[in-house]
Structure 1
């Protein structure tokens, strides 16, 4: 009975993991491929329209309150990012962690690269580019400004306004810049931009009224992205439009969703909103305590344009008077420490939700803090994962001990159970009663053997989430050939681990399944040894399932992050040692090698 229960649980777990793989990886990867194909089709259409002289531009529609609109400048496939930057006058940005520039046309923050992060693990690979100006490929930028209330006729700065820098010099962490523009009718607009040593910009917009009539203006800010980016496509990770808006809480909106909805608005007194990728984000933070309308929107012509923006309440500027509004812009890497500091030090509510900890954050966040703590002690995230695995084992040691003791006792009474099955083979009710009486007499819980498997599920999931979503794990090396714990093992047995110069992944359809690296093989061997601590079930079908299960999991986990496979291998090894020690203490013979030899016999070996 115990063997059957464990078998059914193992089968269910296998099916569950297979289903999770299909749900989180297989289906999203197919969807991602479809998105790429669709994006390429759209870009080909834009090229054709441009050749025919058609304007491929699109403009995000305004709402009745006069919300901001995106400039009618869109991606130009024939212009590189560098060319688009060179075509306009700019102010350099140079901080310890950022480089780029601010466009004096529109006063936009539209050129940001991250100094600390590169596209690949190669040290000379290009830096990660976060923001890109209009006029080049896939524009992504932030813009601040004013819109007039109903009846306002005074010229206001817009997307094509050319600002003037007061003074000179680059924007650095210690030297802010100030831009100004006069509308010729008594209104002077000034914009002061500063940035800290990490990723937070502060934008202070000021209006001075030297005219004879009052003017009423609404301050706004927007983040706009042209073209749907290539997302990871995993269910456990949100990429798209994101925000936390007061009583309406967290808003996670996919690109496909906002394309259907067109526009979603929320009224709030506190919050933030923006657009997030897996590891990077650009988010607007309105003035704290001031009511605003936060909006997510999209326009889908030849190239879709996605936008998040906020619109503040109207401000009346009397003749001789002035008004100023100050907001923040986050544009950088979603580092846990930095995000938490902004939440705590700047008072940005729930800014921690910028990182997708998921529903089980009460497991995921402690798992990250543990791994990060030991990383700062040992200097290697892989070693930190091994240490945390040992700690998890210690926490569940009493429970696992009881489970393994129960399993050892079950093995010890196996001859009596076999005799009962033979004696009551025609009377299942009597057989069941006799077995339960024996369990009671020997103080055995037949379901206890399931606990070690069940315990691993939440730990496995939380570790998977941490490795997958946190930028701290990105490009984190282990030892040897593992240069990125967040990526699958790059080796594969099908080219003799690199000795044969060809890439099995390039093969159509079956290529991804041939990436069977060293660590997945180590995991498969440890799983095989763990299952061989007990003899194969006498039933041939059950024996076959137990025999092939390690092979199934080896191929399944080959596409998972290497850090997760290393954890599972180490966890299996600790479980083998723990179970073997308990079996020996209970007086049960550890028949690992006998059971392995029995695997190759004609019939499955049974307990004598």
Structure 2
């Protein structure tokens, strides 16, 4: 019996394997995003304020990819509570290029921070993205610096969450004007918190204690982050959101909030280089200036979590003073900013972005994309230019692919003769076919190379669109206002004309339709498959990929559509260079149609 060789089956199976690899990589993440719903508390350190979450805090939060409050009642309550909390005069304004906000003199807490470079939503009228919110608000997240009692020395009064610190009159924290808060315990000890801020997202906090009393005192400096998980981003298998840090110069993306809630307390995994909480685009971290600190994560219950730095005990003799410096990062995970901090001495800070195992490939793709954006000023155009560069680099590979297809077509008569001669001896048939390939200089798997070369590039762009805040809220043209979000126009609600939300897995938008159509055209230009099963697979694949890709970032679909269009143009050009392939493709399609007619 004559038919396609085992090697042709392998060739096509490898193509299908490549497509299915992408499907698995992306389909799992889609399933996680669609189906993910969204121990007694240990005693907090002395300087930590009491957790006072809202009544809805006990309910499991519904999380989104980006994070933020999702409960309408919480959103309304947050706006009200923020307005009330920030109306207090006991605050020191923060005004810097990267951050705005205030320091609460009650507790000396940094509990009010918004980014000046990123808006909360696509609509600028909704205001800046909030990073920190005061204690007791639904979105509470803040940093506090204090002390606990040391050992072997008399007890003294220490500042706590209710302590009201004193600030200089008219104090304002800017990159040019640090601010020092002070508090005297009435027993001879004066405590100070000196805040400095840079042009990005880093505060430097100096905890000082001076002793004018008659006896030595011993204290242990503490730095702490406190946050609710109600604003946490979705933690998925390929992008972590939750507690994290760098320990012994190794970044650890874990544990997640659920694990921490079950454990109660989890110590750091070694000497802390930095520790804190991360969402997809934002993070807050504590960075000890010197070695010697220890750290842990804690759950206080009701969805409130702590990240702690504990410093060694210091003895302060009469007439002396002591200080400890901690840096606080609170803001957007901008690649260039994090890399600058790492170059300035913070170990592995650039890896706070969860690039994953393939960062060696993803970061160069991101660098190229960012460079193209800086040139053309539009990330959509930058993605299209990136696609053009990728296709241009792979054009010689595609030429070899078509040359290999031409060679395969040329030796088909010889292959069919071998298949007929050794139809009852499959091992010998395979051996003779392989010898024919070697004699004719044909590689039956050469056509798979372009597909497998594109997979890492495609995945790198996919990850870049997920984790890079630089891509957030970046418009392309017409209705595409955010390339990092799905296409907002859906077929099933008549592209927004009907007032209902389409489930994500049915949200077929304009870009998804274009992807399916261009992929179908691309497959139509390929040589026809003689195997009926493969015919069905290749007929269904474009529309299956249309459904799979529809919920993903518009930028990813734009890349794939552009790649399909360039592939179609490339195929048309190479068919003009190899007319025998086009003729054979037309002949195969005609044979298929005749076979279908006969089967009826």
Question: Which interval holds the TM-score relative to the shorter structure?
Answer: 0.7 to 0.9
Write the distance in 2 (CA, Å) between the matches of 1:605 and 1:519.
Answer: 36
Q: Say which SS state the counterpart of residue 532 (structure 1) adopts.
A: helix
1:7 partnered with 2:8: no
Q: 2:445 aligns with which of 432, 444, 447?
A: 447
The Cα of 1:198 is off from its aligned counterpart by: 1.2
The Cα of 1:453 is off from its aligned counterpart by: 1.4
- Mean CA deviation greater in 135-144 or 571-580: 571-580
The Cα of 1:545 is off from its aligned counterpart by: 0.9
Q: Say which SS state the counterpart of residue 124 (structure 1) adopts.
A: helix
Pairing 1:84-233 to 2, within 5 Å after superposition: 84-86=85-87, 89-150=90-151, 151-233=153-235
1:475 partnered with 2:473: yes
Q: Is the 8 A contact 2:239 2:280 kept in 1?
A: yes
Q: Is the 8 A contact 2:178 2:194 kept in 1?
A: yes
Structure 1 match to 2:528: 536
Write the distance in 1 (CA, Å) between the matches of 2:352 and 2:329.
Answer: 11
Q: Residues 60 and 591 from structure 1, CA distance in 2 versus in 1: closer, same or farther, beyond 3 angstroms?
A: farther
- Mean CA deviation greater in 333-342 or 404-413: 404-413
Q: Residues 418 and 239 from structure 1, CA distance in 2 versus in 1: closer, same or farther, beyond 3 angstroms?
A: same
Q: Is the 8 A contact 1:148 1:218 kept in 2?
A: yes
- Mean CA deviation greater in 178-187 or 125-134: 125-134
Q: CA RMSD in A?
A: 2.7
- Mean CA deviation greater in 124-133 or 428-437: 428-437
Pairing 1:400-439 to 2, within 5 Å after superposition: 400-414=398-412, 416-418=414-416, 421=419, 425-439=423-437
Q: For 1:466-515, what per-residue CA distance to the aligned partner results, in whole angstroms no more than 9, with x for missing partners?
A: 111000010111122211111111122334434x433451xxxxx22331
Q: Say which SS state the counterpart of residue 146 (structure 2) adopts.
A: strand
Write the distance in 1 (CA, Å) between the matches of 2:346 and 2:353.
Answer: 14
Write the distance in 2 (CA, Å) between the matches of 1:478 and 1:266.
Answer: 43
1:61 partnered with 2:62: no
Structure 1 match to 2:292: 291
Q: Say which SS state the counterpart of residue 274 (structure 2) adopts.
A: strand
Q: Is the 8 A contact 1:270 1:349 kept in 2?
A: no
Q: Residues 603 and 229 from structure 1, CA distance in 2 versus in 1: closer, same or farther, beyond 3 angstroms?
A: farther
Q: For 1:360-397, what per-residue CA distance to the aligned partner results, in whole angstroms no more than 9, with x for missing partners?
A: 11001111111111111111112222222232234334
The Cα of 1:567 is off from its aligned counterpart by: 1.1
Pairing 1:37-52 to 2, within 5 Å after superposition: none
Q: Say which SS state the counterpart of residue 164 (structure 1) adopts.
A: coil
- Mean CA deviation greater in 592-601 or 391-400: 592-601
Structure 2 match to 1:551: 543
- TM-score, normalised with respect to structure 2: 0.88
- TM-score, normalised with respect to structure 1: 0.87
Write the distance in 2 (CA, Å) between the matches of 1:230 and 1:344.
Answer: 29
Q: Is the 8 A contact 1:25 1:234 kept in 2?
A: no
Q: For 1:53-97, what per-residue CA distance to the aligned partner results, in whole angstroms no more than 9, with x for missing partners?
A: xxxxx96435xxxx5563214123566222233357211222223
Q: Say which SS state the counterpart of residue 135 (structure 2) adopts.
A: coil
Write the distance in 1 (CA, Å) between the matches of 2:232 and 2:570.
Answer: 45
Write the distance in 2 (CA, Å) between the matches of 1:575 and 1:201.
Answer: 50
1:325 partnered with 2:324: yes
Structure 2 match to 1:314: 313
Write the distance in 1 (CA, Å) between the matches of 2:319 and 2:136.
Answer: 39
1:581 partnered with 2:573: yes
Structure 2 match to 1:41: none
Q: Say which SS state the counterpart of residue 166 (structure 1) adopts.
A: coil
Structure 2 match to 1:342: 341
The Cα of 1:160 is off from its aligned counterpart by: 0.8
Q: Say which SS state the counterpart of residue 357 (structure 1) adopts.
A: coil
Q: Residues 600 and 70 from structure 1, CA distance in 2 versus in 1: closer, same or farther, beyond 3 angstroms?
A: farther
The Cα of 1:597 is off from its aligned counterpart by: 7.5
Q: Is the 8 A contact 2:409 2:581 kept in 1?
A: no
Q: Say which SS state the counterpart of residue 299 (structure 1) adopts.
A: strand
Q: 2:518 aligns with which of 518, 526, 534?
A: 526
Structure 1 match to 2:32: 27
Q: Say which SS state the counterpart of residue 364 (structure 2) adopts.
A: helix
Write the distance in 2 (CA, Å) between the matches of 1:12 and 1:91.
Answer: 60
Q: Say which SS state the counterpart of residue 224 (structure 2) adopts.
A: strand
Structure 2 match to 1:49: none
The Cα of 1:258 is off from its aligned counterpart by: 1.4
Q: Is the 8 A contact 1:68 1:311 kept in 2?
A: no
The unaligned stretches of length 5 or more in structure 1 are 36-57, 506-510
Q: Is the 8 A contact 1:81 1:137 kept in 2?
A: no
Q: Residues 354 and 476 from structure 1, CA distance in 2 versus in 1: closer, same or farther, beyond 3 angstroms?
A: same
The Cα of 1:585 is off from its aligned counterpart by: 2.5
Write the distance in 2 (CA, Å) between the matches of 1:467 and 1:110.
Answer: 30
Write the distance in 2 (CA, Å) between the matches of 1:440 and 1:267.
Answer: 55
The Cα of 1:304 is off from its aligned counterpart by: 2.2
Write the distance in 1 (CA, Å) between the matches of 2:591 and 2:459.
Answer: 32
Pairing 1:390-409 to 2, within 5 Å after superposition: 390-409=388-407
Q: Say which SS state the counterpart of residue 396 (structure 1) adopts.
A: helix
Q: For 1:542-575, what per-residue CA distance to the aligned partner results, in whole angstroms no more than 9, with x for missing partners?
A: 2111111111111111111111111112222223
The Cα of 1:211 is off from its aligned counterpart by: 0.3
